[in-house]
């Protein structure tokens, strides 16, 4: 189990659930590319992965 800073359990979501979420509708393509099938992520982890992808230095 994972707990946030306030000691509350954080919900985890599948890749499919996050990609379909209204909260991430503008980042669906990025989530599809960076999240792994079969793993679960918190919303904070998904936001961080989107941010990391967008801030990645171009080669």
pLDDT band (50, 70, 90) for residue 9: confident
Res 21: pLDDT: 95
pLDDT of residue 37: 96
Cα first-last separation, the chain: 37
CA angle 44, 47, 52 (to 5 degrees): 125
The stretch 24-40 carries a mean pLDDT of: 96
Give the CA distances from residue 26 to residues 12, 20, 40, in Å, rounded to whole numbers and listed in that order.
20, 11, 20
Q: Which domain, by its residues, includes 45?
A: 13-54
Q: Does the pLDDT at position 2 exceed 90?
A: no
Domain assignment present for 26: yes
State how many domains the chain has. Answer: 1
Q: How many CA atoms lie within 13 A of 3 on its CB side?
A: 4
Residue at 27 is within a domain: yes
In a domain, 7, yes or no: no
Instruction: Tell whether the model's pLDDT for residue 48 goes beyond 90.
Output: yes
Residue 44 lies in a domain: yes
Q: Is residue 50 part of a domain?
A: yes
């Amino acid at each position: 189990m994972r707990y946030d800073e306030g000691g509350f359990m954080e919900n985890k979501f599948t890749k499919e659930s996050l990609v379909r979420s209204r909260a991430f509708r503008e980042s669906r393509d990025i989530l599809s590319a960076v999240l792994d099938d079969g793993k679960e992520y918190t919303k904070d982890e998904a936001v961080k992965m989107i941010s990391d992808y967008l801030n990645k230095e171009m080669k």
